[in-house]
Amino acid sequence: MNTLTNLSGKTALITGGSRGIGAAVVRRFAQDGVAVAFTYASSEQKARALADRIQTSGGVSLAINADSGDPEAVKAAVAQAAGRFGRIDILVNNAGILNLGALDDYSLAAFDQMIAVNVRAAFVAVQAALPHMAVGGRIINTGSVTADRAGFPGTSVYAMTKGALAALTRGLARDLGPRGITVNLVQPGPTETDMNASEEMRATVRPLMALGRMGTDAEIASLVAYLAGPEASFITGSAITIDGGYLA
C-alpha cells in the first residue's frame, strides 16, 4: 500500500481499463487497496487476465464489457460497479480512441465516433456516477497534450476531442465543487503504449522530449493515484501535463 495516496478501502471505476494507461491505473489502484471495476470493449482476454491477477493477489476487481461509444452501455457499467461496491469513490474516464487521418477524406462517421468515445462517454459516466458518489469523490479524466499542441498533421479531430475534454473538466469542477467532488484532467504526452506502437512514430517523437524518452503507463498512473488521494483535495479544474518536457 502506498502511504502517499492512502486509497485503501476506496472504490473506483476506470473506463478503458484493460490495456495501456487504463490497465496501469487499475493495477496501481489495486496495489493501493482500492476495489476496482473497469470497462473494456474488445480486449476481453486482457481484461479477464488483469482481473484474475488482482483477485489472485488478494484484491477486488470487476471487469465489465462496455463500449464507451454506446451511452447506454456506459450507464449500465456505472450501475454494475455501484451495485457491486455500494458506491463509487473514484471515477477515471480513460477510454479513448485515436483515429488519425487527412482532413480532405476524414469521414463524418470517424468524426462522430471520436466525439462519442472521447467526450460524450465521459459526460455520460459522470452523470451516471453522481448518485453513487459522496463528498470527497474524485473524477479524473485522461486527456492529452494534443489539447495544447497538435504536433503532427492528421491529429486535428483527436486534438479537438481532447480540448473539449479539458473544457468539460473545468465546467464540471465548477458544477461539482459545491458537492465536495473534485474533477481534474491528466494530460499525458507521448507514452509507451500500444496506441503508439509504431517504432517509426516512437523514433520521431523521442527527440522532441526534453528527457529524451517517452513516458511509461505506470508514470501516468502514479499521477492519477495522487489526484485520487487525500493530499490532492484542493486541486480541481486543473489540467496537469505529464509529458517529459514535450511541451517545454
Sequence-distant (6+) residues with CB within 8 A of 31 are: 1, 2
List 40's β-bridge partners, or say none: 65
Instruction: Exactly one of 40, 158, 226, 246 is catalytic; name it.
Output: 158
For the question of residue 158 being annotated catalytic, the response is: yes
In sign, the C-alpha dihedral spanning 236, 165, 20, 117 is positive
Q: Which of 30-44, 72-86, 188-202 has the lowest mean pLDDT?
A: 188-202
* Residue 151 banded pLDDT, cuts 50, 70, 90: confident
For the stretch 100-131, pLDDT in tens is 999 999 999 999 999 999 999 999 999 999 99
Buried b or exposed e, range 52-73, using 16+ CB within 10 angstroms: eebeeeebbbbbbebbbbbbeb
From residue 105, how far is each of 111, 118, 157 by CA, in Å? 11, 21, 12
Higher pLDDT pick, 203 / 177: 177
Q: Which cell is 242 given? A: 505529464
Predicted TM-score (pTM) of the model is 0.94
* Residue 205 banded pLDDT, cuts 50, 70, 90: confident
Q: What are phi and psi of 124, to 5 degrees?
A: -60, -45
Q: Say if CB 128 and CB 88 are below 8 A apart.
A: no
**pLDDT attached to residue 2:** 55
* Residue 5 banded pLDDT, cuts 50, 70, 90: low
Give me the residue label for grid cell 493495477: 27
For the stretch 24-59, pLDDT in tens is 999 999 999 999 999 999 889 999 999 999 999 999
In sign, the C-alpha dihedral spanning 143, 75, 39, 28 is positive
Q: What are phi and psi of 115, to 5 degrees?
A: -65, -40
* Residue 63 banded pLDDT, cuts 50, 70, 90: very high
CA 41/CA 7 separation, integer angstroms: 27
CA 195/CA 217 separation, integer angstroms: 11
DSSP label at 195? G
SS (H, E, C) 41-90: CCCHHHHHHHHHHHHHCCCCEEEEECCCCCHHHHHHHHHHHHHHHCCCCE
What is the pLDDT of the chain when averaged over all its residues?
Answer: 95
Q: What architecture is the 11-242 domain classified under in CATH?
A: 3-Layer(aba) Sandwich (3.40)
